[in-house]
Amino acid sequence: MSKRSLKKSNEHFKKSLNKLPLGVTSNFRYWGDDDTIYIKRAKGCRLWDLDDNEYIDYRLAYGPYILGYADERVDQAAREGMEIGGVTALGLPDDLPLIVIANEFFDALPVHQYVATKDGWRERIVVRGGNGITAAPDTVPADEAIPPALRDRAEGTIVETAPAAAAVMHQCSARLARQGGAMLAIDYGYCGPATGDTLQAVKAHRFADPFADPGEVDLTAHVDFAALAHAARRPGTNVFGPVDQGVWLQAMGIDARLQTLVAASPERAADLQGQRDRLVAADQMGTLFQAMALTGAGWPQPAGFDISGEIA
């Protein structure tokens, strides 16, 4: 039996290294520089790569494809869901009011980073070199992706955008306008436009290098709530906030709750006060986190958002 040809997959691998760590979207898809394959089509239990080599997928994509690839019943259901926005709006019901809680959800979605260079703005891309995986400026001009107010910043300045987060918020807002309901989003964040590199990684409850151990660390980036609010605004949807978490919790009655808990357990007063301060204080989570709410037309204003003032 002749050895399979992987010429097209090898060529594609070399191109992919300029965009993706190890040239793939997940580390288990990397089979070595000369043996990594790229699939162009699939049907049932069979796959075909770019060089038309045929494979049988015994893993079934690690479980989801129990009916095989390109099953017409599944594809039709997916098409119907996409027509109403159900697939991109998190698979939520389409015939009832929605109550959506997004607690530290948006910070886990992908971000794009752009860096100011002597030749203009460039997107930061992931590259692999002699020292492993790192980020470097692309060669394609990206000035149009930068908010006008930030384009004149100094060389080395970084700007982040999150089109995936905006797309999810846009879909959720559309669903609330059509179906009614309310949404609360709380996350690490700020009100842009702003500059700075907020991408960070956590492994085993400790900060780590975002480019080390791909696929083995949790990646997050701070959320631009001004951009989320912009994506959410539409006829039929009301947007409240964003506001600092500390201000919002105080408006929601966290101090009254603290007094009740201390009265019931006076021996825990110091511990309870510390927990309250961690959530509310400006030098802790009070300003690091933001809160924003959406409602469908005719739904009541959510509690805690008719507020102004400083954190106590």
What does 96-137 look like in DSSP terms, one character per residue? S-EEEEEES-GGGS--EEEEEETTEEEEEEEEEETTEEEEEE
| pLDDT, tens only, 25-36 | 776 788 888 999
Q: Give the per-residue pLDDT at 41.
A: 92
Q: Which of 89-93, 103-107, 246-250 has the lowest mean pLDDT?
A: 89-93
Q: Kindly indicate the confidence band of residue 312, based on its pLDDT and cuts at 50, 70 and 90.
A: very low
Q: Which residue type is seen at 152?
A: D
Q: What is the pTM of this model?
A: 0.68
Q: What is the DSSP letter of 305?
A: -
Which of 159 and 68 is assigned the larger pLDDT?
159
Q: Give the per-residue pLDDT at 89.
A: 46
| pLDDT, tens only, 221-267 | 999 999 999 999 999 999 999 999 999 999 999 999 999 999 999 99
Average pLDDT over residues 170-183: 93
Q: Kindly indicate the confidence band of residue 1, based on its pLDDT and cuts at 50, 70 and 90.
A: very low
On the question of pLDDT at 132 being above 90, the answer is no
Distance CA(97)–CA(84), nearest Å, equals 15
Q: Kindly indicate the confidence band of residue 91, based on its pLDDT and cuts at 50, 70 and 90.
A: low
45, 51, 52, 53 alpha-carbon torsion, rounded to 10°:
-60
Least Cα distance to 162 among 213, 105, 119 occurs for 105
Q: Which residue type is seen at 5?
A: S
* Domain boundaries, given as residue ranges, for the chain: 7-70, 86-111+163-312, 116-161
Q: Which residue type is seen at 129?
A: G
Q: Which CATH number fits domain 86-111+163-312: 2.160.20.10, 3.40.47.10, 3.40.640.10, 3.40.50.12710?
A: 3.40.50.12710
Average pLDDT over residues 141-164: 94
Q: Give the per-residue pLDDT at 54.
A: 93
Least Cα distance to 59 among 51, 71, 69 occurs for 69
Q: Give the per-residue pLDDT at 62.
A: 58
Question: CA neighbours within 13 Å on the CB side: how many for 197?
Answer: 13
| pLDDT, tens only, 177-197 | 999 999 999 999 999 899 999
Q: What is the DSSP letter of 275?
A: H
Least Cα distance to 8 among 30, 39, 43 occurs for 39
Least Cα distance to 223 among 302, 166, 280, 286 occurs for 166
Average pLDDT in the chain: 88
The domain 7-70 having CATH identifier 3.40.50.720: the answer here is: no
Q: Which of 3-7, 23-27, 83-87, 268-272 has the lowest mean pLDDT?
A: 83-87
On the question of pLDDT at 156 being above 90, the answer is yes
Quote the crossing angle between the two packed helices 163-179 and 225-232, to the nearest 10°: 40
| pLDDT, tens only, 58-88 | 877 656 667 788 888 888 877 776 665 554 4
On the question of pLDDT at 300 being above 70, the answer is yes
Q: Give the per-residue pLDDT at 95.
A: 79
The verdict on whether omega for the bond into residue 110 sits within 30 degrees of 0, i.e. cis, is no
Cβ contact 168:106 at 8 Å: yes
DSSP string for residues in 153-201? PPTT-EEEE-HHHHHHHHHHHHHHHHH-EEEEEEEEEE-SS------EE
Q: What is the DSSP letter of 24?
A: S
Question: CA neighbours within 13 Å on the CB side: how many for 247?
Answer: 16
Task: Give 269's contacts (C-beta < 8 A, 6+ positions apart).
Answer: 262
Distance CA(188)–CA(220), nearest Å, equals 9
Distance CA(61)–CA(47), nearest Å, equals 11
Cβ contact 94:179 at 8 Å: yes
Q: Give the per-residue pLDDT at 308.
A: 43
